[in-house]
Each structure stands twice: as C-alpha cells, then as structure tokens.
Amino acid sequence: MARKIFFTFQYLMNNPPWDTGISPPEVYQFLEKNSPGVALDLGCGTGTNVLTMAGYDWQVTGIDYVPKAIRIARRKARQADLTDRVKFLIGDVLNFKSLEGKYDLVLDIGCFHSFSGTNIDRYARNVSNYLTPGGSLLLYAHIKNDPGSSHGVSEENINVLGKFLTLVHRQDGDEGASRPSTWFRFRNLKQQTS
C-alpha cells in the first residue's frame, strides 16, 4: 500500500525521475534481435516502452496501478497513432486475473524490485505462466547492496525467478555503488510442473 501511495504521489507531482520518455538501449537491442510478437509491460508507467515496442510492430499490453500514469500512456498512444497495437490496463501486476493470453515478451523496468516476501514467488509463478514456451522476461531491477536495505531485490529474490525461468543473460550496471542495478533476461525453457 505504501508503495502504491508513493508511486501515485510521484505521478501527481509530475515528472517522476524514471519517466524520461526514452527507452533504454537494452530494450532496443532486444527489439532489433527478435521478431515482433505479443508483449506485456508490467508497471508500464506512462507507456514509453509500450510505444517503443509497438513501433517495432509488437502488440503490447501495459499495466500499471496508477490511473494517472495510464491516462498519460493512453494519450501518448493516441498522439503516436499506435492505438491499434497497444492496450493499457489499470491494475495490480500481482493480480494477473485481469490479464489474458500468452506473451512472447514480458518487460519489467523497475516494478519487480519493489516487491518482497511472498509477492516474489507469486510474481515469478505468474510471469512464467504468462510466457509462451521460449518467451522472454526482460527485467531491470535495483539490487540490494546490503541485506537490511528496504530498496531493491536480493540475490535470493532473483533465484526465486530462476526456479521458474532460465536465466540466459545478466548485465550488472554501473549506476554507482549506492544503487546497483542489473538487466536480466530469463526465458521460459522449463517444463511447468505446477
């Protein structure tokens, strides 16, 4: 709840620091190397990355629980004339009931790293169920630099994702020791047993 209030407040104050309007190079690299398919952006904010993916002919659903972020995302899609390729949903990414279908790509930039406890397992299980066989989770997350820190995910949390998905690439970032970050690419290569 506290996280949702934080994010809602950030969008109400305008221009949250992450909302740069520019997709990271890692997203472009993925889009250049992979054929278009169906994608899901978890915690899509104002839809920058959804629109970038749609610009590469992907059909994309973005979900975020802050209504103002989704309102802005929908406006940006109309302005970019991409409404036929994108869909924006207001909702909690931990409640996947509002989502349908399977996705070749799940993108998460900055959402997973605000989860903890049982939500980590729930998220991992749900993402793996939503990926097509061979589908990818492209994930950017801040990493805890000390176990007591309230921000970021631990290596243990990353290992939970590894129970359901196969880690195929990891690139540790260099944003500074105070806030280490990593890009991960997981693929759905495992047989689902549960």
Binding site residues, ligand SAM, CB under 6 A: 3, 7, 18-19, 43-45, 48-49, 63-66, 69, 92-94, 109-111, 114
The answer to whether 119 and 147 are in contact (CB under 8 A) is no
Q: CA–CA separation, 44 vs 40, rounded Å?
A: 9
Between residues 7 and 184, which has the closer beta carbon with respect to ligand SAM? 7
Between residues 14 and 193, which has the closer beta carbon with respect to ligand SAM? 14
Q: CA–CA separation, 131 vs 128, rounded Å?
A: 5
Question: What minimum distance in Å lies between the beta carbon of 15 and ligand SAM?
Answer: 11
Question: What minimum distance in Å lies between the beta carbon of 34 and ligand SAM?
Answer: 19
Between residues 21 and 134, which has the closer beta carbon with respect to ligand SAM? 21
Between residues 131 and 138, which has the closer beta carbon with respect to ligand SAM? 138
User: What does each C-alpha distance from 58 to 29, 41, 53, 82, 86 come to in angstroms?
Assistant: 14, 12, 6, 11, 8
The answer to whether 51 and 86 are in contact (CB under 8 A) is yes
Question: What minimum distance in Å lies between the beta carbon of 152 and ligand SAM?
Answer: 12
Q: Which residue is nearest to ligand SAM (CB)?
A: 43
For 169, other C-beta atoms within 10 Å of its C-beta total 13
